[in-house]
Every structure is written in structure tokens, then in C-alpha cells.
Structure 1
Amino acid sequence: MVSLPKGIPILKRAEWGAVASVLPMKTHVPQKITIHHTATKQNPERSLKAKLQTLQKFSMERSPLSGGRIKEPWADIPYHFYIDVNGNVGEGRPLQYVGDSNTSYDPTGHALIVLEGNFENEKVSPEQRQSLEKLTLAIAKRWKISGTQIWGHKDNASTACPGEDLYLLLPHLRDLVDGKTSQRK
């Protein structure tokens, strides 16, 4: 079993009431970090627990996507970590298992982090940015991932994800992991 990154508070699956996966999952070892956005409006009033429960329910069902395409059920939440608008971090799919995507790329070896929001028209909150920096550093340190292996979803597939505002943070994350800059305050 792969342990969670140390030194960052994470709402664990048992704490938010995760149910068991509904399909078999393939194991992997993180070698890259890929950043996503939920592409939904930020909602600071809703709890992280409720957001994760809703995402898990959506993920495990046959569900319509924007544009009308139908998504077949996934085994579990597609992402390993979820950062809400308030900067709270939740454990999604256990990190030892390959995540999922509704685009055509193979996420094997990718630690998937999703931030709540649509960053084509919203801004990453300062709290999200701070948690993303800490989480990215912790994952990179734990699995010896270099800054060159930090990606946005759109670097792997034809999509706008993770949205322009979040995508603009990736060079800073790469430099942070490689020790070329420090965390922003």
C-alpha cells in the first residue's frame, strides 16, 4: 500500500465516508504529477466531505458529461487528491492505483491532483495555491519526481483542463520542486 504524503493535512477516505471501489483497479508507482480542474464553479459553502461524496457517486455511475457524451462507470474517484476552494485537501482514489480520465491518455504513473473550479474563468484561490504547492512538493519528494515531470491535463490530451489560470502556475511548481524558487506566501 502506498502511503499518503507526510506533513500536509489530508481528509482521508474513511473520514469522508468513501465506499469501496466498484471495479478492479491496476496498481502503479507515481512517476509524474498531473494537475486537473473540476471545471465546475467554486463553492466555498459546501464541505469537502460532501464534494468528495458527490464526486465518488458521479464517478461510479454511468453519467452524462458536458456536451452530452456518456461516461461509463469508473472504479472510484478518478483523482488521487482533491483541493477545494478553501485549500482543504481530500484523499480521492488511493495513490497506489492508476487514476481515470474522460480523455484519451494513459494516467499510469501519474499522481492526479484536481482543484475545485473552472480556471478558464475563475482564479485559483490563495489557499488552493498554497495547498497545491505543499502537496506537489510532498508527492515529488516522496516519489523522487522532478519538476520536468509536472504536467497539466492538457499536456497529455486534447482539453482545456486545468484551465488557463491554473496552468500558469505550473512553471512555478516545476521550479519549486527543482529547488529553483521557494513557496509563495
Structure 2
Amino acid sequence: MRLPALSCLAAAFLAFSTAAGAAEPLSVVEQSIVPVTAWGGTPADASKARRHTISQITLHHQGEPFKPGTDAQAYLRRLQSWSRVTKGWLDIPYHYVIDLDGRTYGARDIAFAGDTNTDYDPAGHALIEVVGNFEEVEPNQQQLDAVVNLMAMLAAKYKVSIDDIRSHRDHSDKTVCPGANLYRYVKEDYFRHKVALRLAGEQAGKHR
């Protein structure tokens, strides 16, 4: 699907902002990410890390049920322990985790390449996990909005092309991740369009 020209996207974003209120700056999105220390995690051993340069953004799902009322911070602590003790990985395999309320948590240090159970090399990928099993349930709007905001922030910060926003299953045929109900938003270019609008609006705002 061909994306509209940036000037058209900027105009559309400004019209939307006027009607619905301007989106918060991407710097605020980054500042709102809950750091590892705040949810009770511990930093990874940097001496064992594989460092990389971000060139892609890749979406995952948890792949397990995540019921309303589940303590997201306790989940992250369990995930960190499982990743290190059971899997023998450096840390949580993803760089960011988004909960049911659309809150974004820092996980693995973005400077360190992630891990995967499948056959692609995640070096260069900024990895985002959304909690829930989207083979079974639909993502809610808070989660979708959080994905857009986070992807836009990462795309701006690391100069990632809109074309390089994909999902786990786009890089491996050994998985259904991020689940059919979330993958639909990737396949239909929902995230690419929304991120492009977000970036256009950020650029327009700097020139007003």
C-alpha cells in the first residue's frame, strides 16, 4: 500500500490535531517509559551483551493470556527471571513491553540485541512486546495507541524507515507472532500510516 506524501500527512495530522487536541511530543513519549528499576528489574550484564545499531522496529505479542487486573510489574519480574534462568538469555528478549492500559515499560537495554526462539537474527531490531495472546483476543485501543507512539519515537530517534516497521512473523515463518488479531494492523499498514502521521505532525510542530 502506497503511503501519502509527507506534506499530505502533515496536513492531515494538523487537521486531526485541531479537532482532537495535539498529540504529546515524542520526547514526552520517551520520558513516560517506565524504567527497569521502577518495576523491580535489574540491569543486564553489559560485558555479555551483543551490541547493535537499531535499523528496524519489530512487533511481538506475549503469546499467553493476560487477564485484566494482572500485575504487569510482577509479570516483568517473572519474565526477566525466566529469560535469564530458564532460557539462559542476557535479559528479557524484548526492549519494550506494553501492558493492557497502554503503559510502556523498558525491558532489555535498547543498546543490546534481543533474543528469539525462532530463526531470524534480531540484531538491529528494536523489539516491542504487547501483552496478551492475539490469536485469541483483540488488542485494545490503549495498546494500539501505545504501539504507534512508541514506534514513532523509535523511528524518529534511530532514523528507522517506515518500510522497516514489521512484525516477528514477517522475519520468520516459524511463528504466528504477533497473533492474527494484532498482525492485521501490521499487514494493513495501520501502524505505518499512524507512525507516518505522528512523525509528520512532530515535524510540522517544530516549524510552527
Residues in 1 aligned to 2:57 and 2:133: alpha-carbon distance in whole angstroms: 19
Aligned to 1:65: none
Matched, 1:163 2:187: no
Matched, 1:42 2:66: yes
Which of 24, 27, 49 aligns to 1:25? It is 49
Residues in 2 aligned to 1:21 and 1:175: alpha-carbon distance in whole angstroms: 34
TM-score by length of 2: 0.76
Q: What does the per-residue CA deviation read over 1:150-176, in whole Å, with 9 as the maximum and x for residues that have no partner?
A: 111001112000001111112111122
Q: What does the per-residue CA deviation read over 1:8-32, in whole Å, with 9 as the maximum and x for residues that have no partner?
A: 2111011111123257111111110
Aligned to 2:22: none
More helix by share: 2
Q: What is the CA distance between 1:44 and its match in structure 2?
A: 2.1
Q: What does the per-residue CA deviation read over 1:52-111, in whole Å, with 9 as the maximum and x for residues that have no partner?
A: 10110110122xxxxxxxxx3111000000001121111010101001111111000000
Aligned AA (2:118) = T
For the pair shown, which has the larger CA radius of gyration, 1 or 2? Answer: 2
Which of 75, 78, 81 aligns to 1:54? It is 78
Residues in 1 aligned to 2:43 and 2:199: alpha-carbon distance in whole angstroms: 40
In angstroms, what is the RMSD of aligned CA positions?
Answer: 2.0
More strand by share: 1
Structure 2 unmatched runs, 5+: 1-25, 202-208
Aligned AA (2:81) = K
Residues in 2 aligned to 1:79 and 1:12: alpha-carbon distance in whole angstroms: 14
Q: What is the CA distance between 1:147 and its match in structure 2?
A: 1.3
How many corresponding residue pairs? 170
Structure 1 unmatched runs, 5+: 63-71
Residues in 2 aligned to 1:107 and 1:45: alpha-carbon distance in whole angstroms: 31
Matched, 1:84 2:99: yes
Q: What is the CA distance between 1:180 and its match in structure 2?
A: 9.2
Matched, 1:74 2:96: no
Residues in 1 aligned to 2:162 and 2:140: alpha-carbon distance in whole angstroms: 22
Residues in 2 aligned to 1:43 and 1:36: alpha-carbon distance in whole angstroms: 18
Residues in 2 aligned to 1:24 and 1:120: alpha-carbon distance in whole angstroms: 34
Residues in 2 aligned to 1:125 and 1:73: alpha-carbon distance in whole angstroms: 32
Matched, 1:15 2:38: yes
Residues in 2 aligned to 1:6 and 1:25: alpha-carbon distance in whole angstroms: 27
Matched, 1:127 2:142: yes
Residues in 2 aligned to 1:96 and 1:42: alpha-carbon distance in whole angstroms: 28
